[in-house]
Each structure stands twice: as C-alpha cells, then as structure tokens.
Amino acid sequence: MSVSKNIEGLTDSTVCALSLSEKKMVILGTQFAGEMKKSIFKIMHYFFPKKGILTLHASAYQAKNGYGIMCGLSGTGKTALALNKNFKIIGDDELCWGPEGIFGIEGGCYAKTINLT
C-alpha cells in the first residue's frame, strides 16, 4: 500500500506538496525523480516573476540570425526542434526570460526516451 493512501482526504497514490512559507517539499508515492524537477519549477513560477523574470516551459536556441523560443507542453517537439544542427541550444524544458536575457534553469537536455524506437 502506498504511504500517501494513509493520509486522510487524499485520493491519489502520488502526492507532491509544497509549502512556500516553510520552504519545504514532500513527495510521496512515486520513484519518478522528475517530480522534484517539476516541483522546483513551480516554486520558480512563484518567486521569479516578483523579480521581473518570466518562467517558461520552453526550449530556446541561438541561430545565425537571432534567437528562438518554443513554448509548449511536454512531448510536443520542443527539444527535437531546438537540437537542430544549425542552432546552439540555450536551454531546454525550463527557461527564464528577464532583463539579462534568456537562460536555462537546468543544465543539459531533458529528452524523454520512453518507447523510443
């Protein structure tokens, strides 16, 4: 039985709970490490706009004639398009756009490989 099933009022076996005031995060009922990544992104959605920085679920790249940002849901091809051999990737999946420009929150590339053929 999942640990989170023992908590009154919960209807799902996986729970991600954030307390911004206590600066705590609890993740129950999963071994998927991506829950930590997405939880941190949610925290950034709260704090960064207060500093004049827009957080985006997007990929960004530099091309010969400028820059590009591709926003979209997971699995829509942002990573595949940003990894074009003619582009220099700036960031993938989680980005910020502020007074200093565009920057990636995470290092590397978050490409899913589930059912890859």
Domain-by-domain residue ranges, the chain?
A: 3-50, 54-104
Beta bridge partner(s), residue 28? 15
Per-residue pLDDT tens for 48-73?
Answer: 999 999 998 888 888 999 888 888 88
Give the model's pLDDT for residue 1: 45
As a whole number of angstroms, the distance between CA 84 and CA 68 comes to 12
**Beta-sheet strands, E only, within 9-77:** 15-19, 24-28, 54-63, 66-71
Give the model's pLDDT for residue 12: 72
Which residues of the chain are under the pLDDT cut of 50?
A: 1
Give the model's pLDDT for residue 8: 74
| pTM higher than the cut 0.85 | no
Cβ pair 55, 96 in contact under 8 A: yes
In degrees, to the nearest 5, what angle opens at C-alpha 66 toward C-alphas 64 and 72? 115
Give the model's pLDDT for residue 89: 83
As a whole number of angstroms, the distance between CA 82 and CA 79 comes to 5
Cα–Cα distances (Å) from 53 to 1, 11, 27, 99, 110, in that order, read 42, 35, 27, 7, 22
